[in-house]
Structure 1
Amino acid sequence: MQRLIARLDVKNGIVIKGIHLEGQRRIGAPVELAANYYAQGVDEVLFMDSVASLYGRSNLFDTITEACKQVFVPITIGGGLRSVEDVELALAAGADKVAVNSALVRTPELATQIATLYGRQCLVASIEAKRVASGWEAYISNGREPTGRDVLDWVRELERRGAGEILLTSVDQEGTQRGFDIELCEAVEKAVRIPIVASGGAGKVRHLSQLDQTVHLQGIAIASLLHYGKATVAELKSALSDAHARKWVGACSQ
């Protein structure tokens, strides 16, 4: 069964939620929310600094240090990490993994450097994908800046360079609560062998079940469902467990 990951997008010390990675609806304090979701039973917590890529720095190190006092599951930090030195600071603050997007686009060899120094398991390649006529294009800066890179070609390159996991965010679906881009997830699943975490679009419990029935991803990052109280972690895990059981029974009966 997939890992259930609470995603917290943070701007200036406050968790926010928007649509298509835009917007500033204020949700609450990041450490308090992380502790709440941990108490409910999430498997991991993902902190993303939503403005760090614009200013070239992460403001989450102190937040991570405080969260580690109350949250005892793996923590990933993303946003504004541009160098090996930034990764070192993130890990020293208490993060288990780092999610990197813009810096890998601008300096692809950074992936190999991070993987060599800290292990593949430390590096999460963050992908912001938008649909285009030919498939999907990779974006940076919260889906604002196109890179000209085809998503499938890019994830293959990142895997070769040492990424241990893909955080796959559909910018088109993010915040819409209309469900995941299952076609995108299927395509990336076929392109790489490393674990994939899907993010963007979950607005109903059944959206998780639909994803699990179709693809074999290793994790699902959830924001709106938790932030707006539409479901508890227990309800989401139960739905995933039921979907996984149905898929297993179906496979055995073939």
Structure 2
Amino acid sequence: TMVDVVARTAEEVFIPLTVGGGIRTVDDARKMLRAGADKVSLNTAAIDRPEVISEVAEEFGSQCAVVAIDARRRQGDDPTKGWGVFTHGGRNATSLDAIEWAVEAVRRGAGEILLTSMDRDGTRDGFDVELTRAVSDAVNVPVIASGGVGTLDHLAEGVTVGGADAVLAASIFHFGEHTVAEAKAVMATAGIAVRPVPSVP
């Protein structure tokens, strides 16, 4: 079960662990937190029933309530048209505007926004820094940029240009192209404060 996966993972990693997927209620969140997660990420459940954000934040603190937003540009490359919110991996459109939804999620108690550009996800062309900047400027909680990293410089751009507080990448690490230590070195060179890489015995 997912609870077992979380428990085994929490035993092995010593960094903050956020768990998402299928968390629809306070009870679901409780199970993940008891299993060792530090935070839970809400996406479709929060769109379907926004009150769950407040419920999780009130029960466990806003630092535990992450709202994941999958956004896509409304009209191609024109940022003046804004970004819509999608669910189910970017397949299903909602009527929500990404910036307005981020503001509403924070108002309801979200302590962090995980922002994925569905236009950039998997492209390796870099973050949608206009989207990231728009959301980062609109909310007063940390924003994690996601979607599109192809180079280590893209990570730094997410912070320096996009205004993100943190960045997420997958394929550049999964396929062994780069290490976390290399990523941190590039970010530090760009003037971004990063945690030191722990030595591995």
What is the TM-score normalised by the length of structure 1? 0.72
Secondary structure at the aligned position of 1:197 is classed as: strand
Quick check: 1:123 aligned with 2:65?
yes
User: Could you say which residue in structure 1 is the equivalent of 2:136?
Assistant: 189
User: Structure 1: any 5+ residue segments left out of the alignment?
Assistant: 1-58, 246-254
What RMSD in Å do the two structures reach over aligned CA positions?
Answer: 1.1
Q: 1:86 aligns with which of 9, 28, 51?
A: 28
Quick check: 1:75 aligned with 2:22?
no
Secondary structure at the aligned position of 1:115 is classed as: helix
Question: What amino acid maps onto 1:155 in structure 2?
Answer: A
Quick check: 1:228 aligned with 2:175?
yes
Is the contact made by 2:16 and 2:38 (CA closer than 8 Å) also made in structure 1? Answer: yes
What percentage of aligned pairs have identical amino acids? 42
Question: What amino acid maps onto 2:59 in structure 1?
Answer: L
Distance 2:68 2:157 in 1: 23
Q: 1:166 aligns with which of 86, 90, 113?
A: 113
Is the contact made by 2:159 and 2:166 (CA closer than 8 Å) also made in structure 1? Answer: no
Secondary structure at the aligned position of 1:110 is classed as: helix
Secondary structure at the aligned position of 1:244 is classed as: coil
Question: What amino acid maps onto 1:242 in structure 2?
Answer: T
Secondary structure at the aligned position of 1:68 is classed as: helix
- Where in structure 1 do 4 or more consecutive aligned residues deviate above 4 Å? none
Distance 2:159 2:114 in 1: 16
User: Could you say which residue in structure 1 is the equivalent of 2:52?
Assistant: 110
User: Could you say which residue in structure 2 is the equivalent of 1:6?
Assistant: none
Alignment of 1:12-31 (within 5 A): none
Displacement of 1:215 in angstroms is 3.1
Alignment of 1:197-236 (within 5 A): 197-236=144-183
User: Could you say which residue in structure 2 is the equivalent of 1:100?
Assistant: 42
- Name the structure with the higher strand share: 1
Alignment size in residue pairs: 187
Secondary structure at the aligned position of 1:222 is classed as: coil
